[in-house]
Amino acid sequence: MALIESTLATGGDAFKANRDGMLALIARIRDLEERARKASAASAERFHKRGQLLPRERVALLLDPGTPFLELSTLAGYMFDNGDPSKSVPGGGVIAGIGFVSGIRCMISANDSGIDAGALQPFGLDKSLRVQEMALENKLPFVQLVESAGANLMRYRVEDFVRGGNIFRNLARLSAAGLPVVTVTHGSSTAGGAYQTGLSDYIVMVRGRTRAFLAGPPLLKAATGEIATEEELGGAEMHTSVSGLGDYLAEDDRDALRIARDIMAGLNWDRPEPGPNGSFKPPRYDAEELLGIMPMDHKRPVDMRQVIARIVDDSDFTEMAPNYGPATVCGQARIEGHAVGIITNNGPLDPAGANKATHFIQACCQSQTPLLYLNNTTGYMVGKAYEEAGMIKHGSKMIQAVTSANVPQITLYCGASFGAGNYGMCGRGFHPRFCFSWPNAKTAVMGGEQAAKTMAIVTEAAAARRGVPVEQDKLEKMQKSITFMFDGQMDVFATSARVLDDGVIDPRDTRAVLAETLAICREAEARRPARMQYAVARP
């Protein structure tokens, strides 16, 4: 055993300041999530009057009671729908997450039709594409609850129309991979969105509420002169008795969700088995202490072993080569019995640290051990000595190892993730299976002050070459503008809004989230392609 000893001074001023800062950020995130729930719930009277359930009520009834639901990308689109931070409603108009339906772990996606009739909000497309990608990569059946007014024509962008085709392509790919696509069409599924319903393996429609057609009555009349009602064109009864699009006719939302659960229950699909070791021991230190480890100032040093000690079984961590490239920490541990290789940073990545990380990644691939990256680095070291030592070469080897890894990789932004260090530590651009952030995390090509100083030096050098004086007032104004621009895009309220992670998690929930994702990865790896014969693509 290699137990990590705690060095935290939990009664000290620094710990308390870190804790207060983290709690304030968590409170802000929870307030934004609650704002989205309230915005949707404001439609309750209208929904209930017509016999419908609210979107979150639908999700709750679909899920197995008492089982975990890992909601994803709750801050998607924040500040893009409305530039006023007090009025912006995050979520992208989509409720998405991983949960259990009839004992089967599934990816669930539901249009939040309580907000703008379910029209996609800014970054809702990105969120939808990401959860489909996660379902495909992690071999999860896909359950979607559809009720959408489609694209917001007032915010039409041709690139969204073109990229939106990926939603339908991904549904076909899921089905072709043997991953059942189960759809409950609670309301509108019109125009191109009709294929969201059509490209499903099992389709449930609701009497009197479902609408699925390529052209609604107004467009039909304008295009052809034909007059028809919505029910005649694309109602549930027509589609389940005439067109054959619908497979099941439900009387209302509750009945539709019951049918969806029955469909899942009837699948010949492996239910998750217990983890590899049910007798694991919890960490020796309280998860509450994770609140006080990370400083709000990313330039202050942190011993990431103290984070590891509070998330791994029995705080037991077998570190590899601790005296070689010591700022890069690599080692083996278990999280709720799941073996995992951990890579993290106690400072910038240097040539020795990059070499060590490369070796460790390759060793984990050889033993088929998933990798967890705990990001906390300002990047790769720079300077004459480091260039001579081959920083580019060794950093490139590390990036190649990350790219070529044949095991599941999970990324958690705990602190800074700057420059090429973001790449070497399996940032979002390197397609980790899951990518989460802590509320204090920062992601950028460099810090705002560094960027401003760099541009000031470049500007002064250019002026000197031209033989003209530098106007200090303009230079200072430029530096302030650059700092503001960088600082405004590096925190989680900016990055998660852009779906550059899969969600922001409370540090205290880290162990539970990682255990859940490692279990998902383990199940996906065990589900061999030869056994993926459960869903049949519709003719």
Q: What's the mean pLDDT in 492-510? A: 98
Q: Higher-confidence residue: 413 or 1?
A: 413
Count of CB atoms situated within 10 Å of the CB of 253: 23
Q: How confident is the model at residue 533 (pLDDT cuts 50, 70, 90)?
A: very low
Q: Is the pLDDT reported for residue 129 higher than 50?
A: yes
Long-range contacts of 45-48 (CB under 8 A, 24+ apart): 47/114
Helix, strand, coil distribution of the chain in percent, nearest 5 = 45, 20, 35
Q: Which two tokens stand for residue 453?
A: 């100083």
Q: What's the mean pLDDT in 446-458? A: 88
Q: How confident is the model at residue 463 (pLDDT cuts 50, 70, 90)?
A: confident
Alpha-carbon span 409 to 371, nearest angstrom: 5
Alpha-carbon span 166 to 178, nearest angstrom: 18
β-strand pairing of 94-101 with 70-71? antiparallel
Q: Identify the bridge partners of residue 109 per DSSP, sorted by sequence position.
A: 96, 144
Q: Higher-confidence residue: 222 or 6?
A: 6
Let me know the angle formed at the C-alpha of 132 by 126 and 136, rounded to the nearest 5 degrees: 140
Written as one letter, the residue type at 67 is T
Tokens 């909601």 locate to 71
Q: At what angle do helices 253-265 and 55-62 cross, to 10 degrees?
A: 30
Q: Is the pLDDT reported for residue 537 higher than 70?
A: no
Give the pLDDT confidence of 159-207 residue by residue, as tens digits.
888 999 999 999 999 999 999 999 999 999 987 789 999 999 999 999 9
What backbone phi and psi angles, to 5 degrees, belong to 503?
140, 160
Q: How confident is the model at residue 208 (pLDDT cuts 50, 70, 90)?
A: very high
Task: Determine the 3-state secondary structure of 74 from DSSP.
Answer: coil
Question: What average pLDDT does the chain have?
Answer: 93
Q: Is the pLDDT reported for residue 488 higher than 70?
A: yes
Q: Is the pLDDT reported for residue 538 higher than 60?
A: no
Q: Higher-confidence residue: 270 or 132?
A: 132
pLDDT of residue 278: 64
pLDDT of residue 273: 67
Give the pLDDT confidence of 276-308 residue by residue, as tens digits.
556 899 999 999 999 999 999 988 999 999 999
pLDDT of residue 155: 77
From 181-185, 399-403, 438-442, 484-488, the region with the lowest mean pLDDT: 484-488
Q: Is the pLDDT reported for residue 534 higher than 60?
A: no
Percent of the chain exceeding pLDDT 90 equals: 80
Task: Determine the 3-state secondary structure of 30 from DSSP.
Answer: helix
Give the pLDDT confidence of 46-67 residue by residue, as tens digits.
999 999 999 999 999 999 999 9
Q: How many residues are there in the chain?
A: 539
Q: How confident is the model at residue 120 (pLDDT cuts 50, 70, 90)?
A: confident
Burial class, 86, CB count within 10 angstroms (exposed 0-12 / middle 13-18 / buried 19+): exposed
Tokens 């339906």 locate to 101
What backbone phi and psi angles, to 5 degrees, belong to 232?
-65, -40
Q: At what angle do helices 448-466 and 472-490 cross, to 10 degrees?
A: 150
Alpha-carbon span 76 to 64, nearest angstrom: 26
Convert 285-309 to b/e letters by CB count within 10 Å (16 or more is b). Answer: bebebbbbbbbeebeeebbbbbbbb
